[in-house]
């Protein structure tokens, strides 16, 4: 019974390559002699308790390959985190369907879900192999060189800032781009790889790993703007002051105090707008624009790193191999073994679950507003090939005949 039926699910925020992991696991499982059925749960653990399962043994390989190339979670996802009672409901369903192995593709919260399900299964005496397959654009899983999903999202951020830099050079001003990542700044830091020429932006990068001061921020922007006549800023949504207070809520409070009212600022564009308002008000710069990359950075169709695709696929396949060959539950992790090459290891669930990796100090420049060469070397091979090249005119100036400048 133990391995005759396999159940796989997807949790947390979708990515560009999470379906690669799904298909990697499904195809690997379908090749196993001892596996009769591969089930998928709709919307993560919620689909298990609702007995909302699909029989993936009935999927054609061709369709699975096309699903693998499709972004977002094909099975559907959930933010549910099971407690003991929820787990009992899960086991009731697993027992009824004689499921022997459970694979959950997800990030931090999902790995903790796998840990809880694994523990409760053991306590309940229910024989269940539980495997976590990593996925998160935030790149914040400990024990991993990087996580599937991050390289493609990073590629989006690079392409976005490379384009914003060109746009801003054409119509100069200040541009603020707010990037996802509440605790870890990896995705925001990726913006630094958008630069080609020495004066290219982003000129300033603000990460949640460093305390944010609005005064320092304004002085930084002013210095760049005075020097170049323009300034591109990459900001993590998770920036906070020394006391840990999110800047979004801090600035919002100021607005509230000015307005003597209760202004709701829960919308996703709030941080970018507030930072832009600060720049306009305090620095008297006229052309200030802000974009919040929002869901585009994780869902945009057609922005994907082929390195990321390959690794996400392998992580799913290795999870099935670990489950079949090993004797322990665990979390699959990517290890860098060369420049550039990776391997996959199995970590104890407790080593990953509920823990958050942030950017290591050696990846952040001493200024606190840029990355180091070590970060550039770290990220470059993950972005994949085929990134569009940009070029500038380099024609000489025509000698002035009138001389006066208006």
Q: Which of the residues 242 through 301 are near a copy of itself (CB under 8 A)?
A: 255-256, 258-270, 272-274, 276-277, 289-296, 298-301
- Residue 288 Cβ, how far from a copy of itself at the closest point, in Å? 9
140 is catalytic: no
Catalytic choice (138, 140, 220, 308):
138
- Footprint on residues 25-84 left by a copy of itself (CB under 8 A): 39-40, 43, 46, 49-59, 63, 66-67, 69-79
Cα–Cα distance, 357 to 337 (Å, whole number): 20
Burial class (CB in 10 A: 0-12, 13-18, 19+), 332: buried
Among residue numbers 216 through 245, which ones bind a copy of itself (CB under 8 A)?
none
Strands of 231-236's sheet in order across: 204-206, 231-236, 174-179, 288-292
Cβ atoms within 10 Å, residue 250: 16
Residue 326: CB minimum distance to a copy of itself, A = 27
> Buried (b) or exposed (e) across 316-330, using 16+ Cβ within 10 A?
bbbbbbbbbeeeebb
Per-residue contact flags (x/-) with a copy of itself for residues 368 to 397, judged by CB under 8 A: -------------------xxxxxxxxxxx
**Closer residue to a copy of itself (CB): 264 or 325:** 264
Q: How far apart are CA 135 and CA 104, in angstroms?
A: 10
- Residues near a copy of itself (CB under 8 A), total: 101
Q: Give the footprint of a copy of itself on residues 167-226 (CB under 8 A).
A: 167, 169-171, 175
Asked whether the beta carbons of 4 and 37 are under 8 A apart, the reply is yes
Alpha carbon distance 372, 193 (integer Å): 11
Q: Is 123 in the site for a copy of itself (CB under 8 A)?
A: no
Nearer to a copy of itself, 291 or 350 (CB): 291
Contact 135, 151 (CB under 8 A): no
Does 402 participate in binding a copy of itself (rule CB under 8 A)? yes
Nearer to a copy of itself, 26 or 131 (CB): 26
Residues carrying an active site annotation: 138
């Amino acid at each position: 019974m133990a391995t005759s039926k396999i159940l796989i699910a997807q949790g947390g925020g979708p990515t560009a390559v999470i379906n690669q992991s799904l298909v990697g696991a499904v195809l690997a499982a379908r090749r196993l002699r001892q596996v009769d059925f591969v089930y998928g749960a709709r919307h993560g653990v919620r689909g298990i308790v609702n007995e909302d399962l699909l029989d993936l043994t009935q999927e054609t390989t061709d369709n699975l390959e096309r699903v693998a190339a499709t972004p977002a979670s094909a099975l559907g996802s959930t933010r549910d985190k099971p407690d003991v009672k929820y787990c009992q409901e899960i086991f009731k369903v697993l027992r009824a369907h004689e499921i022997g192995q459970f694979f959950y593709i997800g990030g931090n919260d999902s790995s903790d879900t796998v840990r809880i399900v694994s523990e409760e299964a053991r306590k309940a005496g229910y024989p269940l192999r539980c495997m976590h397959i990593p996925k998160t654009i935030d790149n914040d899983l400990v024990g991993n060189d990087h996580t599937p999903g991050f390289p493609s999202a990073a590629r989006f951020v690079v392409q976005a800032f490379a384009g914003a830099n060109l746009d801003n050079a054409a119509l100069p001003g200040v541009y603020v781009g707010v990037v996802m990542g509440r605790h870890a700044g990896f995705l925001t830091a990726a913006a630094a790889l958008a630069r080609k020429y020495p004066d290219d932006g982003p000129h300033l990068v603000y990460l949640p790993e460093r305390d944010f001061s609005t005064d320092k921020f304004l002085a930084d922007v002013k210095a760049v703007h005075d020097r170049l006549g323009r300034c591109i800023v990459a900001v993590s949504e998770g920036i906070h002051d020394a006391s840990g207070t999110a800047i979004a809520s801090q600035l919002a409070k100021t607005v509230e105090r000015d307005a003597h009212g209760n202004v709701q600022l829960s919308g996703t564009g709030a941080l970018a707008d507030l930072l832009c308002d600060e720049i306009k008000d305090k620095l008297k710069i006229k052309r200030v624009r802000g974009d919040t990359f929002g869901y585009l950075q994780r869902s945009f169709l057609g922005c994907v790193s082929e390195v990321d695709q390959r690794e996400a696929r392998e992580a799913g396949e290795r999870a099935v191999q670990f489950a079949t060959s090993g004797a322990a539950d665990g979390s699959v992790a990517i290890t860098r073994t060369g420049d550039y090459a990776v391997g996959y290891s199995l970590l104890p669930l407790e080593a990953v679950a509920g823990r958050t990796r942030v950017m290591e100090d050696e990846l952040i420049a001493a200024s606190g507003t840029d990355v180091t060469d070590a970060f550039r070397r770290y990220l470059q091979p993950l972005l994949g090939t085929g990134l569009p090249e940009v070029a500038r005119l380099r024609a000489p100036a025509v000698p002035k005949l009138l001389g006066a400048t208006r």
